[in-house]
Structures are given as structure tokens and as C-alpha cells.
Chain A
């Protein structure tokens, strides 16, 4: 376990470029054990790129990423799960032609401890009774909200130390979005540290402890979530007030 003083994730001066385009232009991020941090910003601000870089799907051009005390900036994408850094991809990324149960099992792909896996499975079903009802159903036939539950449940099966959520509300009806955020609060209450990327800034900040605001590849504001909600500049730019 990390001590409370040293952050679980620490990103320093991270730069990412696709060809000649600089998507992320030197950002600093810190997440402490047990926190729920929101990263908000408009389309194309570089949020998803940042997340993909954190889990090795995109290689950084410069800067350092350290997770749980180790430099992870050069690791391959599949090396992150076993270290406890787990991504719930944008658009959910479930396996549509596998059943709900098989999807959850895939989350424990790197693990070999059968008894523990069964225990975690039961825990996920406790968290999402809806999924238990549908465990034999193909995940692709579920509603959007249920698919998001599968994606989050599957990530929990990897026993994450830090869970990265990429736009969990994307493409969902407003009422379902509320449900998903309830779930995120529930997962946070279980003690899972999370970094949440959202376009729905209001909901995200209402849920998170802290927030970062990203604009064209740089972080412009970093503050407590409550302070951000009260910040007039943020209100007019992102909260539609």
C-alpha cells in the first residue's frame, strides 16, 4: 500500500504528439490513494489522449508518468492491468458476443486465483444485481446503461488500484447517466481510486473530490471540485450557467 503522502499516480510535464500534431502539451496530474478526480474539458482538448497515454496505448513524446512508485511511461498496454491501472475504454469496449459472465471473467484474465476470482465475481453481482439477472445474456444485447455496468464490473474484476473511466456517460439517456454516476459513487465508496473523464462537467464535478480542466492540450485550472463548481469562469464555459 502506498502511503498517503506520496501520490498513487503522478504525471509530470507530459507531452503527446500524433505525427506533427501536439495533442497534449505538457501537463501535470496527481492522484492520491482513495481520491475521485475528474478531468473535464471540451471535445478535442486531449482528455482521451491523456488517458490512453497513462495506460500505454499511446507513447508519450516527453515527460514522466509514475504509478505506485514506478515509472510506467515505457510499458506496453497489456502490462498495466497486473499493476492495478485499469481503463474502462471510451464507448465501453465490452465484448458484444460474449455473455455478461464471460465479459466479467475476461476482466480477471491475468489472474490465476480461482477462489478470489469467484469472490470478486460475487461482489460485482452484489454491486450490479441487474447483471446477475442477465449473466447468460450476450453483452451486445444489453441496453447502453447495462453495457456500461458490464464495462465497470469487468474493470473491477481486475482489482484496480486506480480505475480510469473514459466518458462513462457517452451516448446514454440522461436518466441512465444519473444511474451510472450513482454507480461511480458506489464504486468510490468501496475505496477504489478513480480518474474520471467527462464532458458532462457538472455531474462529474458534483461526484468528484478534485477536478482538472483541460483546454487544447494544457491544464488550465486545477482545484477542489466544489471550488470549480463555484468558479464563474468554469460555470460560464463548462457548466452552462
Chain B
């Protein structure tokens, strides 16, 4: 099966190659036009494009966490730490912050080299988290990973003394933007007479890496490693009995997941131009986990959908709640920012009650959590009695 067929399969299309390709082309055209559609149809269009940029970053994060939580079944509540690692790494190498301590040749590496470094270093941090927690599962693992996430954040917060490395809670400013093929992102760009603003430029950059990460995710899921992850999620002893080196496979899950986070973090720092420890609080880890669970654990399109919904809803609320209050009450009673967590919590509870498998689960997970199993049990009864008759 080709990649196009896989993607078409998500939308319930058959295995008809032509049809699949057409869908993929339509989707690509839409994705390419999206920023212009948004900035053309809303007054606050550019802020919407910005929201979409963040949504894309969250998709990368959610897909990374999906490897750890969805495939390998290791509950990680400190995932945002790897995003932080990627972001700070980018900031160190692309801002004056610690330039004085670094040799000149290390500064401002080319984009692809930078992202490779971010992926590798974040991956190493992933192994650092994974190695001591190999024997932990479930709640215990969650607590340790949560602690890990906080440790990284607090380090960033306090490493301004005795030597100022991270500039503490003030964060790092003046982060240079990405340059690619001689063009510095953020500088105005004209393309066939059309002005392309900074947020649009970043949209295409982040989209490209997002597509790459989706591609890697799909390939991983189908690979030997992907099957090994699922096996250790299902039953670790049986997995070892199949000849799977459970230790290495788990560490690889942590490393792969973390490297996605690292890439995403670097793009974030470059896009934002400013980072501080506040961007990497526990709530962010929880949000990313929500995206994975809400969308459909282990199912790539579900996770993407979850990331889009969770990251865009607060912005949409902001657009809706204020005008609504103005119109109905004539004054603003609640701040949409406060409403956000309330709505969000409520939505989570409702979805988990009604659709514990997530909004867009794989067909298999749906079968498993919904009463189709009852039918099978009846069937089983029939075959059991049949077996009994046979025996007599």
C-alpha cells in the first residue's frame, strides 16, 4: 500500500489508487492555500495563521508523544521537557545569550543541521528519562516523567546563576529567525507580486516538517520496531518471549518521541523569537497528552485531529465569547481565557464518557471499546456448545 492509499484509508476511502491520489492532491492544495484563505476571509486573519502555525507545532508534539503513549503504552507526563530542550538549544545557538562561551563556528548552524542537532540531543534526553524508568509502568512511570518535566523547566528557570546560561525566568530574547537558501524568514518576501507575511512563511516551513513527521510516523508504525512497540504495550513478558529486546525497544520509543519534540521545539523558538520557562509548564504536557487521548491514541489521523481541536478551540472561543457577551449582556462578564479551561475540562469529560476511544480512533480500537464484542461473545457461546457436541 502506498502512502496516498494509507491517507485515503483514514478518510474511509477504498483502496482505489486514483481516488486516493485525487484526495491527497485536493488536501495538499487546500493546505497550501490555507493561510491565504484565512488572511483573506478574516479581519484578524494573520492571527489565525499564527494559531494554525502553533497547531502544526502541536501536531508534531502530539505525534511524538503518540509514539511513547500510543504505540509503546508508556504514560509520559513530562513530554514538554523535550520541546523545551529543542527550543533552548535553538536559542543557545541562534541568540547572543551564551554566544560568548561558544566558538564562532557553532553559532547559527544551517536549518537542517540545527534541527538534526535538536532531534539528536532531545533523543538523548529521552534515553536519559527512559533508562532509569525501564521497570516502571502506568502511574509510577507517570509520576517519574512528571518530575522529569518539572526538573528540566526548573533548571531553565534557575540557570541564570552563578553563570547566566538561560537568563532564568526572563527567558531568552533576540533569537534569530531561520534562514533557508539565503532567505531569512521574517523578512518580507515577494512571490510573483504577492506579499507573503512572516506568519505565512513560517506556516510553510512548519508544514513541511510536519508532513515529514507524519510520514516518519506512518513508516514507524508499519515497521518491525512499530510492531515491537505494540507488543511491549500489550504484554511485556510475551514480547520478550518473542525475542524482542524490550529494554532497547522502550528506549527507542522514548528517544524517537523526544526527537519529534526537539524538532518542534526548535521551530517554536525560531518562530517565536523569544522563549522562557513559562512556555514549558506541566499544563503544556497535559495538553499534548489530551490531544493524543482525545483524538484517538495510536491512530495518526486521530492524533492530528486532536492536536488541531485542542490548540484551536481556545482561539475560537476568544472570537466567539466576547462578541457574544457584548451582544447579549452589553458588557464582558467572563474572560474567555478563564472560560477556556472550564470548557476544555467539560469537553474532555464528555468525550471520555461517550467516546473513550477518542474522536477518530482506529477501527480496531473502536471495535474493542464498543459493544460489538457482545456479538462476538454470543458467537463464542455458539461455537462452545458446538465444540461440546463434537466432543460427545
Residues of A in contact with B (beta carbons under 8 Å apart):
55, 57, 76-82, 86-89, 93-99, 102, 105-107, 109-110, 137-138, 140-143, 145, 154, 158, 173, 175-176, 178-179
* B84-92, B180-188, B232-240: which lies at the interface: B232-240
Interface of A is mostly: mixed
A interface footprint on B234-264 (CB within 8 Å = 1, 0 otherwise): 1101111111111000000000000000000
Q: Are B368 and A80 in contact (CB under 8 A)?
A: no
A138-B368, A178-B391 are known contacts. Are A96 and B234 too (CB-CB below 8 A)? Answer: yes
Bound-state Cα–Cα, A94 to B230, Å? 12
Of the listed residues A55, A79, A143, the one surrounded by the most CB atoms of chain B closer than 10 A to its CB is A143
A207 to chain B, nearest CB (A): 17
Q: Are B237 and A57 in contact (CB under 8 A)?
A: yes
A81-B241, A106-B231, A158-B243 are known contacts. Are A143 and B380 too (CB-CB below 8 A)? Answer: yes
Q: Are A158 and B242 in contact (CB under 8 A)?
A: yes
Bound-state Cα–Cα, A17 to B245, Å? 24
Q: Which residue of B lies closest to A141 (CB)?
A: B376
Chain B positions within 8 Å of A87 at CB level: 241
Tell me how many residue pairs across A and B have CB atoms closer than 8 Å: 89
A76 to chain B, nearest CB (A): 7
Chain B positions within 8 Å of A173 at CB level: 384
Q: Are B242 and A109 in contact (CB under 8 A)?
A: yes
Chain B positions within 8 Å of A178 at CB level: 391
Q: Are B241 and A55 in contact (CB under 8 A)?
A: yes
Chain B positions within 8 Å of A140 at CB level: 368
Bound-state Cα–Cα, A176 to B224, Å? 34
Chain A positions within 8 Å of B241 at CB level: 55, 77, 80-81, 86-89, 93
Chain B interface category by residue count: 20 to 34
Bound-state Cα–Cα, A178 to B380, Å? 18
A57-B237, A106-B242, A175-B387 are known contacts. Are A137 and B376 too (CB-CB below 8 A)? Answer: yes
B179 to chain A, nearest CB (A): 44
B238 to chain A, nearest CB (A): 4
Q: Are A89 and B387 in contact (CB under 8 A)?
A: no
B101 to chain A, nearest CB (A): 43
Chain B positions within 8 Å of A97 at CB level: 230, 234, 364-365, 368
Q: Are A78 and B238 in contact (CB under 8 A)?
A: no
Q: Are B242 and A81 in contact (CB under 8 A)?
A: yes
Q: Which residue of A lies closest to B298 (CB)?
A: A97
A140-B368, A143-B384, A179-B387 are known contacts. Are A109 and B243 too (CB-CB below 8 A)? Answer: yes
Answer whether residue B373 sits at the interface, using C-beta atoms and an 8 A cutoff: yes
Bound-state Cα–Cα, A141 to B367, Å? 10
Our pick among B238, B380, B387, B391 for the contact of A95 (Cβ within 8 Å) is B238
Q: Are B235 and A93 in contact (CB under 8 A)?
A: yes
29 A-B pairs with CB atoms under 8 Å apart are A57-B240, A76-B245, A78-B240, A78-B242, A80-B243, A81-B243, A87-B241, A94-B238, A95-B230, A95-B234, A95-B238, A96-B234, A97-B234, A98-B231, A99-B364, A105-B227, A106-B227, A109-B224, A109-B231, A137-B376, A138-B368, A141-B373, A141-B380, A143-B384, A145-B387, A154-B242, A178-B391, A179-B387, A179-B391
Contact residues of B between 365 and 392, Cβ < 8 Å to A: 365, 367-368, 373, 376-377, 380, 383-384, 387-388, 391
Chain A positions within 8 Å of B227 at CB level: 102, 105-106, 109
Q: Which residue of A lies closest to B236 (CB)?
A: A93
Q: Which residue of B lies closest to A139 (CB)?
A: B234
Q: Are B244 and A95 in contact (CB under 8 A)?
A: no
Bound-state Cα–Cα, A161 to B243, Å? 15
Q: Are A138 and B364 in contact (CB under 8 A)?
A: yes
Of the listed residues B242, B364, B391, the one surrounded by the most CB atoms of chain A closer than 10 A to its CB is B242
A95-B235, A175-B387 are known contacts. Are A78 and B245 too (CB-CB below 8 A)? Answer: yes
Chain A positions within 8 Å of B230 at CB level: 95, 97-98
Of the listed residues B235, B243, B377, the one surrounded by the most CB atoms of chain A closer than 10 A to its CB is B243
Q: Which residue of A lies closest to B384 (CB)?
A: A143
Q: Are A98 and B388 in contact (CB under 8 A)?
A: no
Chain B positions within 8 Å of A110 at CB level: 242-243
Answer whether residue B290 sits at the interface, using C-beta atoms and an 8 A cutoff: no
Answer whether residue B228 sits at the interface, using C-beta atoms and an 8 A cutoff: yes
Chain A positions within 8 Å of B235 at CB level: 93-96
Bound-state Cα–Cα, A142 to B388, Å? 16
Chain A positions within 8 Å of B373 at CB level: 141
Q: Which residue of A lies closest to B383 (CB)?
A: A143
Bound-state Cα–Cα, A106 to B235, Å? 12
Chain A positions within 8 Å of B244 at CB level: 78, 109
A interface footprint on B103-129 (CB within 8 Å = 1, 0 otherwise): 000000000000000000000000000
Q: Which residue of B lies closest to A105 (CB)?
A: B227
Q: Are A89 and B367 in contact (CB under 8 A)?
A: no
Chain B positions within 8 Å of A102 at CB level: 227
Q: Which residue of B lies closest to A52 (CB)?
A: B237
Q: Are A89 and B224 in contact (CB under 8 A)?
A: no
Bound-state Cα–Cα, A65 to B160, Å? 57
A57-B240, A77-B241, A94-B238 are known contacts. Are A109 and B367 too (CB-CB below 8 A)? Answer: no
Chain B positions within 8 Å of A55 at CB level: 241
Q: Are A109 and B238 in contact (CB under 8 A)?
A: no
Q: Which residue of A lies closest to B228 (CB)?
A: A109
Q: Which residue of A lies closest to B380 (CB)?
A: A143
Bound-state Cα–Cα, A87 to B368, Å? 27
Bound-state Cα–Cα, A79 to B242, Å? 9
Q: Which residue of B lies closest to A154 (CB)?
A: B242
Of the listed residues B227, B238, B368, B387, the one surrounded by the most CB atoms of chain A closer than 10 A to its CB is B238
